[in-house]
Structure 1
Amino acid sequence: MTTSMTTNISTSRLVLTAIAAGLLLAGCGAVGPDYQRPAFDTPATLTTAANISKSVAAAEWLSWWKSFQDPVLNSLLDEAVAHNQDLVLAAGRVEEARATATAANSSRYPTVDANLVATKSRTSQNSGKIPAGSPLIAKDYQASLSASYELDFWGKLSRADEAARARLLSQEANRGIVISSLYSNLAQSYFALRAYDAQVALADSALKTRQENLRLQQKRFSAGSIGELDLHQAEAEAAATEITLAQAKQALANTESAIAVLLGRSPAAIANPDIPRGNSIDRIYQQLSVPADLPSDLLNRRPDIIAAEQTLVAANADIGQAKAQYFPSLKLTTTYGDESKVFQDLFNPASLLWNLGANLAQPIFRAGAIGAVVSGAEARKTQALAQYVQSVQGAFRDVHDALINTSANEQMYAAGNRRVVALKDSLRLAELRYKNGYSGYLDVLSAQRDLLQAESGLIDTKRAHLAAVVSIYKAVGGGWDKPQSPATK
């Protein structure tokens, strides 16, 4: 007896000591680390390369595609925003995160329920639970309001709310990633489409020229003016141009189907894509503009950086939520209403009932479960921090590469233009020398082949230059609206 009583007293003292220690250590503030943005060594300004001649003083970052002055491109982007399935998926994830954030916030408030209960039961006559002669069948009616509330002394609920709100912002930023990627991918695909249109036209024109040359060579061969070698060279060149035309048509068809998918069109429309055309690649290239000054607040603009940081914020809040489990939880409950065995007397003043309750629970032994949860939360924060750092590194690399590519493409375009002019003169001279008998037909074919390759390369350079400029806008987070804080909605 004495030993048992001593054990009970010791256990009670241990529980009280643990609760008191929890109160002293935790205080009344939220446990866990408060979020602080990691510091980075970032450049003060972001400027385009000095040798880029085409530039404008300012750019509309949220509608940069309008600078190309192509109404068809504008309409295609509007269609994609309305129907693209990646965007629909991203919007659904945002709504799911918003619902989760609302649920997390609601846990910080009391819950109130209205209860209406009616029971009828029969007690066994042989159970000995009721006095002799008492009725075996009993009825009970209750009408009440019950409420419960958990006091958030240690910030468990507030940390959960903080994490859920951060994840909502992260999902909204992820939707921004989808939007900016959609804009840039569709614009670049459209530029590729117009470039392949130009490639098809160029190859078709070259093929007609090669076929006409072949007919002339066949006549000359029949007349005995040329040998068999010149005839076969003309045949081979015509066949090679047919291959070039077929390849250009193949790339064009594949680009059309890719655009149809980006536009969110039906399977039938993807199988037989009908993509409208606007300005030619030359006209679009004439409208090319490069922003003179890039936004310096790259960390605040890029949706992927915002998403990564909000994921880090959520992971940081999860640590506080996990550590709060070390400390006692206090829940308050109350019920107020009426109870009667006769329904007619349910709302009689004599049927009033009420109760108040408080439940204070302090974890004592969990076999390391709480510590494991805390360790897991800290590990997830480490992962989130690494992903955030990688996002920042990737963002500045994207800007660097986009600027370098834009500068290089401008230089290649200027050199390509000079090469085309020179090759046109070379072809003219080679044809003149061949007609006058100073050189063989192989020189003419070589000049034709080089000119076709140079003109095709110039079209590719225009497309690459346009794509690089679009990459600049994407790299600095252009083309999407910043997510709005849930508190302001």
Structure 2
Amino acid sequence: MPRLASITTAVAILAAGCTLQPRYERPAAPVAPAFPAGGAYGQQPAASGAESATAATPAADIGWRDFFADARLQRLLELALKNNRDLRVSVLNIEAARAQYQITRAALFPSVNAVASGTRARTPANLTASGRTIAAEYSVGLNASWEIDFFGRIRSLSDQALAQYLSLAESRKAAELALLSSVANQYLAMLAFDDALAVTRATLVTAEESLRITSLKFDVGTGSELDLRQSEGVVEQARANLETEARLRAQAENGLVLLVGEPLPEDLPPGLPLNSQALLADIPAGLPSDLLTRRPDIAAAEQLLLAANANIGAARAAFFPRVTLTGNAGTLSPTLGGLFKPGSGAWSFAPQITLPIFQGGQNVAALDLAQVQKRIEIASYEKAIQTAFREVSDGLAARGTFDNQIKSLERFTGSQERRLVLSDLRYRNGVDSYLSVLTAQNDLYSAQLLLINARLQRLTNLVDLYQFLGGGWIERAGDTPRPADAPADYSMTTPAPAPGTASP
């Protein structure tokens, strides 16, 4: 017995410890060691006022309620995290991957089944030695089977399934961050259309007043029909622009409803106008290497690389013998009543070794495929890093230029407003033609729309940069980050405990 116990222990240790997976080494990041500096990147905003409390705080440590100060937007983000259908699909995909991992991992352990069977058969008398034509056999017992994982085939498959589960968990985390960004950007776009509608209405009022004056001049004979027709054209163009802006505003709200996952509630708290959205601007970019821990899409790509690495171990193990132990123990009797009588015990033990000799090149091709898939995942992982580097760099370039651009557009818009006033005065006093007024009105309207668009782009760039730097996973600064597979809304069904710890 001691000898048998020591053999069993040695077999268990060997089965648990052997693996043919290649040693994993994280590929070097194929990007520069620092983000670009100077030029467009040299005018990054400095912390001031309310931002000073979070200055130099990485995006991943800033809660989305701290970043988005608009109470109306915060409520919409809550609803989106609860109701968005794409996010629900991501959660269900994680549950499916968890179940698949548990199925694969179960093969590491012996399977034991309780079995009861009974058979009755008739054999012709001339074919039996005993002369009995009816024979019966009844059995009750336990069947057990176990593939001893000497070369780590099952363990490699289990590691592959675990890595795929963790990759989906990180992808779901990335989907949540993208959802927050999409809802915020759609909300800001809706506010921009509100501003564009207000500008268009004001332009229409001005155009209608100009038409009234031009009509009076034409009626008394001091104005020309050309001025009248030009004034009418400006009014109709302004009306057409108003319909366009109203349509775009309605479509923007429809897009927001889709992202939120339900019609916008009537009791939403009051919101802030576009020009009063105080998003945190002084978020440090850090180093490109920081993206490896902040960006869930990069973490997901690395988990897929780990899965491909584990798959090589399973493909290598296919070249080696597979050892399977099967056995059963119970009672066996020709009558049902004699199953549990003394002497009815029965058992069998059947170890089996399967050694691949000729597979038509299947195992070689499977190993080649696994190695190619790993190279594909390496390229995908490197591409994810390069994409993240480009997104952050673009965001920094935009953040470094939008403030000065908006200041210039504000001054430009003010100059066009003054130009329109002067042109209108010159026209009313007969010094200039109506064409100068028409041109000034069009230029002012274009300048106002350019200013609104620049303000919108600045805000959406800050939102995107917050996401690109890994922000949005925690609700408030100081919160403990959730595991990547944990839902944001705890009123929803909470998944079962994770088989592995997904990186926060």
* TM-score tier (shorter): 0.7 to 0.9
Aligned position for 1:10: none
Alignment: residue pair count: 455
Q: How far is the alpha carbon of 1:276 from its aligned partner? A: 8.2
3-state SS, counterpart of residue 228 of structure 2: helix
- Does 1:414 pair with 2:415? no
Unmatched 5+ stretches in structure 1: 1-25
- Does 1:206 pair with 2:203? yes
Distance 2:172 2:256 in 1: 20
- Does 1:456 pair with 2:449? yes
Q: How far is the alpha carbon of 1:274 from its aligned partner? A: 11
Work out whether residues 260 and 275 of structure 1, in 8 Å CA contact, stay in contact via their aligned partners in 2. Answer: no
Q: Deviations over 1:444-480 (max 9, x none)?
A: 2222221111111111111110000011111122223
Aligned position for 1:33: 22
Work out the percentage of aligned pairs sharing the same amino acid: 33
Aligned position for 2:285: 294
Distance 2:46 2:17 in 1: 61
Q: Deviations over 1:380-416 (max 9, x none)?
A: 1111111111111101000001111222322221110
- Relative distance call for 1:28 and 1:407 in structure 2 (3 A) is closer
Q: How far is the alpha carbon of 1:27 from its aligned partner? A: 13
Q: How far is the alpha carbon of 1:327 from its aligned partner? A: 0.4
Q: Structure 1 runs of 4+ off > 4 angstroms? A: 41-48, 272-277
Q: What residue identity is the alignment partner of 2:302?
A: E
2:145 to 148, 173, 176: 148
3-state SS, counterpart of residue 349 of structure 2: strand
- Does 1:335 pair with 2:342? no
Work out whether residues 301 and 482 of structure 1, in 8 Å CA contact, stay in contact via their aligned partners in 2. Answer: no
Q: What does 1:286-435 correspond to in 2, within 5 Å?
A: 287-296=278-287, 297-435=290-428
Q: How far is the alpha carbon of 1:354 from its aligned partner? A: 1.2
Q: What residue identity is the alignment partner of 1:36?
A: E
Q: How far is the alpha carbon of 1:225 from its aligned partner? A: 1.6
- Relative distance call for 1:207 and 1:289 in structure 2 (3 A) is same
Q: How far is the alpha carbon of 1:60 from its aligned partner? A: 5.7
Distance 2:68 2:341 in 1: 79
Q: How far is the alpha carbon of 1:339 from its aligned partner? A: 1.1
Q: What residue identity is the alignment partner of 2:389?
A: F
Aligned position for 2:500: 487
Q: What residue identity is the alignment partner of 2:309?
A: N
- Relative distance call for 1:65 and 1:423 in structure 2 (3 A) is farther
Distance 2:64 2:221 in 1: 62
Work out whether residues 114 and 141 of structure 2, in 8 Å CA contact, stay in contact via their aligned partners in 1. Answer: yes
Distance 1:254 1:150 in 2: 60
Q: What does 1:42-121 correspond to in 2, within 5 Å?
A: 42-44=31-33, 49-53=41-45, 55=47, 56=51, 57=55, 58=57, 61=60, 63-64=63-64, 66-121=66-121
Work out whether residues 303 and 482 of structure 1, in 8 Å CA contact, stay in contact via their aligned partners in 2. Answer: no
Q: What residue identity is the alignment partner of 2:253?
A: E
**TM-score when normalising by structure 2:** 0.85
Q: Deviations over 1:232-275 (max 9, x none)?
A: 1111111111121111112111111111111223xxx59x9999
Distance 1:154 1:85 in 2: 43
Aligned position for 2:163: 166
Aligned position for 2:494: none
Distance 1:141 1:103 in 2: 33
- Does 1:262 pair with 2:263? no
1:465 to 450, 458, 482: 458
Moved more, 140-149 or 392-401: 140-149
Q: What residue identity is the alignment partner of 1:264?
A: G
Unmatched 5+ stretches in structure 2: 1-14, 474-481, 486-497
Distance 2:436 2:268 in 1: 41
Q: How far is the alpha carbon of 1:295 from its aligned partner? A: 4.4
Aligned position for 1:12: none
Work out whether residues 47 and 292 of structure 1, in 8 Å CA contact, stay in contact via their aligned partners in 2. Answer: no
Q: How far is the alpha carbon of 1:170 from its aligned partner? A: 0.6
Q: How far is the alpha carbon of 1:436 from its aligned partner? A: 2.4
- Relative distance call for 1:274 and 1:189 in structure 2 (3 A) is farther
Q: Deviations over 1:204-240 (max 9, x none)?
A: 1211221122122111111112111111111111111
3-state SS, counterpart of residue 120 of structure 2: strand
- Relative distance call for 1:28 and 1:363 in structure 2 (3 A) is farther
Work out whether residues 59 and 283 of structure 2, in 8 Å CA contact, stay in contact via their aligned partners in 1. Answer: no
Q: How far is the alpha carbon of 1:41 from its aligned partner? A: 5.0
> Aligned Cα RMSD in Å?
2.4
Distance 1:260 1:275 in 2: 13
- Relative distance call for 1:64 and 1:221 in structure 2 (3 A) is same
Distance 2:399 2:65 in 1: 17
Distance 1:275 1:224 in 2: 55
Distance 2:467 2:252 in 1: 21
Distance 2:125 2:213 in 1: 120
Q: What residue identity is the alignment partner of 2:419?
A: S
- Relative distance call for 1:462 and 1:28 in structure 2 (3 A) is closer
Distance 1:54 1:227 in 2: 56
Q: What residue identity is the alignment partner of 2:284?
A: D
Distance 2:117 2:405 in 1: 83
Distance 1:292 1:74 in 2: 20
Work out whether residues 141 and 341 of structure 1, in 8 Å CA contact, stay in contact via their aligned partners in 2. Answer: yes
3-state SS, counterpart of residue 178 of structure 1: helix
Q: What residue identity is the alignment partner of 1:92?
A: L
Aligned position for 1:21: none
Aligned position for 2:477: none
3-state SS, counterpart of residue 382 of structure 1: helix
Distance 1:139 1:403 in 2: 83
Distance 1:219 1:435 in 2: 12
- Relative distance call for 1:416 and 1:123 in structure 2 (3 A) is same
3-state SS, counterpart of residue 63 of structure 2: helix
3-state SS, counterpart of residue 278 of structure 1: coil
Q: Deviations over 1:271-313 (max 9, x none)?
A: x9999862111221xx132134124411112111111111111
3-state SS, counterpart of residue 357 of structure 2: coil
Q: What residue identity is the alignment partner of 1:486?
A: P
3-state SS, counterpart of residue 115 of structure 1: strand
